Structure 1
Amino acid sequence: MTITPSPAAEAVGLTGARKVYGTGAQAVTALDELTLAFPQGTFTAVMGPSGSGKSTLLQCAAGLDRLTSGAVRVGGVDLGGLNEQRRTVLRRERIGFVFQSFNLVASLTAAQNVELPLRLAGRRPAAAAVRAALAEVGLADRATHRPAELSGGQQQRVAIARALITRPDVVFADEPTGALDTAASREVLGLLRAAVDGHGQTVVMVTHDPVAASYADEVVFLRDGRIADRLGGAAQVPGRAEQIAGLMARLEQR
């Protein structure tokens, strides 16, 4: 089954997105009429205090959870009109994921983990494409290694290669550097940045780390399920991480 999207300048868009958990006096509003677009070929970081709606935004934008009201579009496709089977197909074909915990299959080699999305989609992976994906993340010589034989940073690079192998509309990265040391974090962020600059990939990253967010073209700050602030400008310029940290500190004091 293939979903054909309509043309769109945005990779992902949310309009009036509202997500409420629970009912009555116990109801919690995680997203509050949020309207936000992630343009194609851009790198966006999403930040905010605990409970601001960051994780809910990612889950709803990726079709892992349904909105209470409003709309989500991925590659021009309205997720609200899809049943669970078609949502699964869309996620498999049009969305890549990078998680803090890597989520590699322990029994598979690096190459087998990278080709897994293609196999799940019923496509025969081209060995050359898998090799190229691993080479692009600097792991051409680790193709036959299993996750236990790789460092944390190497495992996350395999996860990035796996997310990019299908050339998805968007890659959602959830705290991708949260389990890594400084050097490995820098490598992973550099790869995500290179995917945007070199391949026009769209990346949306949830992070609490101002240094990680400084790699993004735009930082969106959430509070109480709404956009509280935004920061554009050039990525990785001197002082950007400190500027982001300052905005986060003011947001947490409100």
Structure 2
Amino acid sequence: MTTQTVVLRDVRATYGTGDRQLVALDGVSVTFERGTFSAVMGPSGSGKSTLLHCAAGLDRPVTGSITIDGVVLDGLTEDDVTRLRRDRIGFVFQAFNLVSSLTAEENVALPARLAGRRPPAADVAAALTAVGLAGRRRHRPSELSGGEQQRVALARALISRPAVVFADEPTGALDSVTSRSILDLLRALVDEHRQTVVMVTHDPVAAARADRIVFLADGRITDDARVPLTAEAIAARTTHQVVKPC
């Protein structure tokens, strides 16, 4: 089994055409190893979310190669990529993306049901128990706090036992105490279950929980810190990121 869960090689991604074309990623190469927690940071427009979306197969790069859990995305059909995302990738977003009319357990089961599968009730219950919501499984999003909604989203991401969890600003809409509990859960996925987590964040406190921090500016990787850093040190590095000349 490969230790490389996600591999990007010379990935270039653009938006728009002609004079209005914007280069979002400019030849990015990066690998995320199995059983690690990586944070991706950078100023607005640096390419953080584009990197995440390309790595997850949500966006197609103009050039370059992307591999997820040993599967090369190049040349796959949209249906193939959709199946890969469904079976091997978990997503957690800032906006939670829960269906308001469904209960917590129904939201957790929804991706599998949309794929034509009926997840075992025991698996749904276990996913909610893992995020501390065993007693809230029949509650709808409006009956849950923001932190509880994000826990439901995390349970939904985990039920398929994905190779990697991509988290896009997962604590951006939460207070500091609730944010800490979500980060604790993400950290436990790595430490206790050898899960791979890749998190985009602007928050140095959140990034400090990761094993590694990849810094972006103007679509290029400008720094790659693989040692623990304090939130203060991360904030200082973030403000001094510049694009290195080719």
TM-score range, shorter chain: over 0.9
Instruction: Choose which of 70, 76, 85 in structure 2 pairs with 1:91.
Output: 85
Other-structure match for 2:58: 64
Structure 1 position 118 matched with structure 2 position 108:
no
Instruction: Choose which of 230, 235, 239 in structure 2 pairs with 1:245.
Output: 235
Offset at residue 130 of structure 1 (A): 1.2
Structure 1 gaps of 5+ residues are: 1-6
Is the CA contact 1:53–1:224 (under 8 Å) kept in the aligned structure 2?
A: yes
Structure 2 gaps of 5+ residues are: none
Summarize deviations over 1:168-226 as a string: whole Å, max 9, x none: 01111000000000111000010011011111111100000000001111000001111
Instruction: Choose which of 170, 186, 195 in structure 2 pairs with 1:201.
Output: 195
Count of aligned residue pairs for this structure pair: 244
Other-structure match for 2:10: 16
TM-score w.r.t. structure 1 length? 0.93
Tell me the distance in 2 between the aligned counterparts of 1:151 and 1:246.
33
TM-score w.r.t. structure 2 length? 0.95
Structure 1 position 77 matched with structure 2 position 83:
no
- Secondary structure of 2:132's aligned partner: coil
- Secondary structure of 1:153's aligned partner: helix
Is the CA contact 1:42–1:200 (under 8 Å) kept in the aligned structure 2?
A: yes
Structure-2 change in CA distance of 1:8 and 1:180 (3 Å): same
Offset at residue 252 of structure 1 (A): 7.0
Instruction: Choose which of 38, 41, 62 in structure 2 pairs with 1:44.
Output: 38
Structure 1 position 152 matched with structure 2 position 142:
no
Tell me the distance in 2 between the aligned counterparts of 1:73 and 1:148.
38
Structure 1 position 101 matched with structure 2 position 91:
no
Is the CA contact 2:27–2:220 (under 8 Å) kept in the aligned structure 1?
A: yes
Other-structure match for 2:185: 191
Tell me the distance in 2 between the aligned counterparts of 1:15 and 1:110.
38
Pairwise mapping of residues 163-174 of structure 1 onto structure 2 (< 5 A)? 163-174=157-168
Tell me the distance in 2 between the aligned counterparts of 1:162 and 1:149.
18
- Secondary structure of 1:168's aligned partner: coil
Offset at residue 24 of structure 1 (A): 2.7
Is the CA contact 1:93–1:121 (under 8 Å) kept in the aligned structure 2?
A: no
Offset at residue 8 of structure 1 (A): 2.5
Root-mean-square deviation (CA), in Å?
A: 1.5
